[in-house]
A and B are shown apart, each in its own frame.
Chain A
């Protein structure tokens, strides 16, 4: 078995409580299967996504970072996802600018009714991450 086949990307997924986390719950209720590589962290709103979380996740060795929230216009807190859209755009552009593969950061709008979409987003993300191999550009090297 080649090293490439054994590689499992590690993803941290930031999900907003009211839409995407609920959508993820719906995927569970519907028993839709998807890869187990993405560990969810539920936050109140994508508006609460500090760019530091993304940089920190990569710094700690994440191969990919997913941020998912309510569709534009549907934010439970009205404007949080509009603020997130801007900050995440800047973060994504900066990552691309320094030469991080664009596919490593992903953002999606998944509503509480979109269980299937959530599963698809994660599946697509893991599939896109596999050929890129482990992320070692921003990862902190820890002496053993």
Chain B
């Protein structure tokens, strides 16, 4: 092994370092290290002449490595590494010793500051001695993306990615895209029609040449890593050819099966063959195999008989497709917290007690009641409607600890819509706080509150029960200190937003983390809100956290921009400071596999193997391994050992 020739360059940084650290002494002490072939001081090492002098010194003295003792590596590590590369040595053989932020700026005593600067510098010199030249890792990229979830988040992400010229596969579990937004009547704060706003986007997705739409399909498996995923998708059979279906509706007229309609939140029923909504995309009917009498002309076969277009085919089979994609966006949305969790509010069993989405369907012109707000029990118009906010939210003791963010706004919207549909009705809103932070939101709520027959009561509701054909509401008004009892015709509960069942399932399939409330976990709560922990998998919409439509659209665009940035490179470049296994010492115990936060290690033939595309170089594996069989390159245990020695000399 040839002797190391390290150059140590001590920066004065004007007086920032030189005032409280004897830089000349640091240089002298480093010159005594037997791996150091050259030392130099300069006023501003990062300046043009400073960097040039480093390049010259490397060439003149045949240096193979560099230590710059100066400010924090956050500032100039890249500068000096690029500089070293220019001079002909590998950039990873250049390291920074921080003797400014962590030394000269915080210690006034020059003697003590210098002693510490010497220790810091010496430890970095010892580290560099063992640094290997490394090259950034190149990973091939498949220029195609997948979006899982066809609600507004998924639709927006798919459009943004497709408009950048990148092919997108949009996978949706239900028979139509549109998600929750398609179930809404109007949206706050503008009260524009939800379907009117959403439909053009749904059509655009359908027609976009770069979007492949796979509805009634589910993601089953994901393998590979960032830039190179293989996703297995199950296409469930709809038994109706979407290209032939004329949406004439003759089939539903003859279908003998009646089941609850989940798209209408079970407020009404549908047939086994159905179309979720008039605006469904794809514009086609679907035959629900679990409800159908048997897909067999001997048993039934009525729908096929009346179909003039010949679109119905009982022989359709499930199909498994493998898609190769470079990035994935997960936009699988939310459910509402189940009413059965609130026994004191009826437990989901009281008639005329609805949740927010059900109320939307009542308001919607395309809903079961054709836009008339009617009581489900007797179809009469409710004259007294109680709206209860914070049901299941903000309750760390029994339900969800967090705030679901949108309920104050949609409750105000519901009160407004109710008053519009039933002008002589009275609306009561039980609230704890009003959270209306978005653009136009506060004004919207204030206007709602100003209506004479809309009463906002600051207090909680302790019980709901039926009494004489109405729902008796026992609540409190903390501002007057009085208990309040209302015999309501209808009660609407603002249930907490929870991650959808599909979100929980997809997280397991994709092996992306979830937070303590079950929402998809973002890589960093502030600085990386649309990235999952797994490189190449991004998050958008309510699956990540409760949010409203503007935020969802913004987040979808953000996720799309990340995807586009990722896929715009022919190859991905990753830091080479990643883990490396010494197979001679590895016994295949698997502790590193379990410890790795990125699931980047696997066991193969009894030895640990690192996935270079996934490893982030955190070193958790190395600290867990009992045998030092795995180390992070250029941050090895041997290097740390020698740095400890240098700090205590």
- In the complex, A touching B, CB below 8 Å? yes
* Cβ of A134 under 8 Å from chain B: no
B residues 492-529 in Cβ contact with A at 8 Å: 513, 521, 523-525
Q: Are A44 and B635 in contact (CB under 8 A)?
A: yes
Question: Could you tell me the distance between the alpha carbons of A62 and B643 in the complex, rounded to whole angstroms?
Answer: 13
Pick the most buried of B72, B74, B523, B619: most chain A CB atoms within 10 A of its CB: B619
Q: Which one of B39-47, B116-124, B250-258 contacts A?
A: B116-124
Q: Which one of B99-107, B153-161, B407-415, B546-554 contacts A?
A: B99-107
* Cβ of A52 under 8 Å from chain B: yes
Q: Are A43 and B619 in contact (CB under 8 A)?
A: yes
Please name the residue on chain B nearest to A8 by beta carbon. Answer: B112
A residues 63-89 in Cβ contact with B at 8 Å: 73-80, 83-84, 87
Knowing A29-B101, A41-B643, A49-B623 are in contact, say whether A22-B119 is a contact too (CB < 8 A).
no
Please name the residue on chain B nearest to A26 by beta carbon. Answer: B101
Shortest distance from the beta carbon of A94 to any chain B beta carbon, whole Å: 15
Knowing A28-B72, A80-B597 are in contact, say whether A60-B619 is a contact too (CB < 8 A).
no
Question: Could you tell me the distance between the alpha carbons of A50 and B617 in the complex, rounded to whole angstroms?
Answer: 15
Q: Are A52 and B637 in contact (CB under 8 A)?
A: yes
Q: Are B106 and A28 in contact (CB under 8 A)?
A: yes
Q: Are B105 and A48 in contact (CB under 8 A)?
A: no
Which B residues are CB-close (under 8 A) to A4? none
* Cβ of B300 under 8 Å from chain A: no
Knowing A28-B102, A33-B106 are in contact, say whether A77-B616 is a contact too (CB < 8 A).
yes
Please name the residue on chain B nearest to A49 by beta carbon. Answer: B623
Which A residues are CB-close (under 8 A) to B123? 39, 41
Which A residues are CB-close (under 8 A) to B74? 22, 25
Which A residues are CB-close (under 8 A) to B521? 78
Question: Could you tell me the distance between the alpha carbons of A27 and B523 in the complex, rounded to whole angstroms?
Answer: 26
* Cβ of A92 under 8 Å from chain B: no
Shortest distance from the beta carbon of B504 to any chain A beta carbon, whole Å: 19
Please name the residue on chain B nearest to A22 by beta carbon. Answer: B74
Question: Could you tell me the distance between the alpha carbons of A84 and B619 in the complex, rounded to whole angstroms?
Answer: 11
Question: Could you tell me the distance between the alpha carbons of A32 and B598 in the complex, rounded to whole angstroms?
Answer: 37
Question: Could you tell me the distance between the alpha carbons of A47 and B615 in the complex, rounded to whole angstroms?
Answer: 14
Q: Are A28 and B100 in contact (CB under 8 A)?
A: yes
Q: Are A31 and B120 in contact (CB under 8 A)?
A: no
* Cβ of B595 under 8 Å from chain A: yes
Which B residues are CB-close (under 8 A) to A21? 102
Which B residues are CB-close (under 8 A) to A104? none
Instruction: Pick the residue among A42, A57, A75, A84 that contacts B648 (CB under 8 A).
Output: A57
Shortest distance from the beta carbon of A9 to any chain B beta carbon, whole Å: 12
Q: Are A50 and B102 in contact (CB under 8 A)?
A: no
Q: Are B106 and A32 in contact (CB under 8 A)?
A: yes
Knowing A31-B105, A39-B123, A78-B533 are in contact, say whether A60-B620 is a contact too (CB < 8 A).
no
Q: Are B105 and A29 in contact (CB under 8 A)?
A: yes
Q: Are A39 and B120 in contact (CB under 8 A)?
A: yes
Q: Are B622 and A33 in contact (CB under 8 A)?
A: no
Q: Are A48 and B618 in contact (CB under 8 A)?
A: yes
Instruction: Pick the residue among A10, A44, A53, A61 that contacts B618 (CB under 8 A).
Output: A44
Which B residues are CB-close (under 8 A) to A35? 107
Shortest distance from the beta carbon of A107 to any chain B beta carbon, whole Å: 14
* Cβ of A56 under 8 Å from chain B: yes
Shortest distance from the beta carbon of A34 to any chain B beta carbon, whole Å: 6
Pick the most buried of A29, A48, A56: most chain B CB atoms within 10 A of its CB: A48
Which A residues are CB-close (under 8 A) to B624? 83, 87
Question: Could you tell me the distance between the alpha carbons of A80 and B632 in the complex, rounded to whole angstroms?
Answer: 14
Shortest distance from the beta carbon of A97 to any chain B beta carbon, whole Å: 20
Pick the most buried of A22, A41, A61, A76: most chain B CB atoms within 10 A of its CB: A41
Pick the most buried of A50, A61, A73: most chain B CB atoms within 10 A of its CB: A50
A–B complex contacts, Cβ < 8 Å, 9 sampled: A28-B72, A40-B120, A62-B647, A75-B597, A77-B597, A80-B620, A83-B624, A84-B623, A87-B624
For the complex of A and B, list the 3 residue pairs with the smallest distance between their C-beta atoms, beginning with the closest.
Answer: A48-B619, A28-B101, A47-B620
Known pairs A36-B106, A39-B647, A78-B523 / 5 extra A-B pairs, C-beta < 8 Å? A33-B106, A53-B641, A53-B644, A78-B521, A87-B623
Q: Footprint of A on B, CB under 8 Å?
A: 72, 74, 98, 100-103, 105-109, 112-113, 115-116, 119-120, 123, 513, 521, 523-525, 533, 577, 595, 597-598, 616-620, 622-624, 632, 635, 637, 640-641, 643-645, 647-648
Q: Footprint of B on A, CB under 8 Å?
A: 8, 10, 12, 21-22, 24-29, 31-36, 39-45, 47-50, 52-53, 56-57, 60-62, 73-80, 83-84, 87, 119
